[in-house]
Homo-oligomer: A and B are copies of this chain.
Amino acid sequence: MNKTNLKGVAASLVMMSATLASSVPAFAAWEALPEVAPAPADNPTTEAKVALGKMLFMDPRFSSTGTVSCNSCHNVMEGGDDSRTFSMGVHGKTGGRNAPTVWNSAFHSVQFWDGRADLLEDQAKGPVTNPVEMGVTEIEQAMDKVRAIPGYKPYFDKAFGKDSMTVVNAAKAVGAFERTLITPNSPYDKYVKGDKKAMTAQQVSGMETFAAAGCTSCHSGAAFNGPKMAFGQGFYTKFPTFADNAYNKKYDLSADKGREEATGKAADAHMFRVPTLRNITDTAPYFHNGSVNDLSEAVALMAKTQLNKDLSDKEVKDIVAFLAALTGEYPEIVMPRLPATSGHSLIAD
């Protein structure tokens, strides 16, 4: 664990004790989003990797049909997702879990709802060979397409050196690009940095309710996804924790066994990675099964299923107002020019 992580954990501990000690946590417990995301030791973020990664992220030609890029389901022009319950991949196929936002995904210490990938680099490879996402049989087939596009070579050369057109490096480039997809300077960030006018009175009230109700027991830290942890070490919670209620019946939350489906361990049943709440106004519908298409309902549901609390309408409204203060500044992204295959197409499906 590096220095930054230790500092993060310390801050989280401060927040947690604050939460335990008082219904209104100390100001110091609230963290602003860092301006730079942490990167693994073997893949420091460089401009050359980011430029290449952006191209690969946007390029649909590596999917079997040539229609699905990373950006199709993690649309950076929107909330980093696709507004759908379940994403639609090649040939109109759909999966079984809601697409998590790519924005600030760099602040997760594990990836996917079930944490089955340690790093963004590992995650990036998953959808390529998922039959309901990009639908490629073997990942090397997708890489063969990358290698068949002459214009990609100079970008790999610059990012990784000669003879570097490999799956590992492609994934590293995508990971590096994704680490630039962060949204600082939300009203909340400005508020916790001292600008008391950055949030409305209702948002401040919602912030207090959010902590007092116990939401911060999971949604802590700068990204509201739990304490900072080393890459590969996940912060999970059982969802639903309290299963015997109308919400669970209505939205069938327990149908998905969560992390148990990845590990095969009964102890992991219904365990899910705690998702970030950053930009949550822009990422409906909500939850692993995308079953709730209303943020107010999602807040009330969480209080009931995780804390066994019935929030008042005012409490829900205040928390929703506070959550809106977590929507930050999306950086400007220039569309990459995807290098052509002169005079022929790679798409056969």
**Chain A positions near chain B (C-beta within 8 angstroms):** 58-61, 65-67, 72, 75-79, 82-85, 88, 90-93, 280-282, 284-285, 293-296, 320, 324, 330, 332-338, 340-347
Contact = CB atoms under 8 A, between A and B. Distances in A.
A284 B281 CA distance: 40
Given A336-B77, A343-B295, A83 B66 contact: yes
Given A67-B72, A75-B60, A334-B335, A342 B282 contact: yes
Contacts of A338: 75, 77-78
Contacts of A345: 83-84, 284-285, 293
A114 B92 CA distance: 28
Given A77-B335, A77-B336, A78-B338, 12 more contacts: A59-B77, A66-B83, A75-B338, A82-B347, A83-B345, A85-B347, A284-B343, A285-B345, A320-B343, A324-B342, A334-B335, A335-B335
B77 A344 contact: no
Contacts of A91: 88, 92
Interface centre among A59, A79, A92, A333 (most CB of B within 10 A): A92
A341 B284 contact: yes
23 contacts: A58-B77, A60-B82, A61-B83, A66-B82, A66-B83, A67-B82, A75-B338, A77-B335, A77-B337, A78-B338, A78-B340, A79-B340, A84-B345, A92-B93, A280-B343, A281-B342, A281-B343, A282-B340, A284-B341, A284-B344, A293-B345, A294-B343, A335-B335
Contacts of A84: 65-67, 345, 347
Nearest to A93: B92
A75 B90 CA distance: 17
A336 B77 CA distance: 6
Contacts of A88: 65, 67, 91
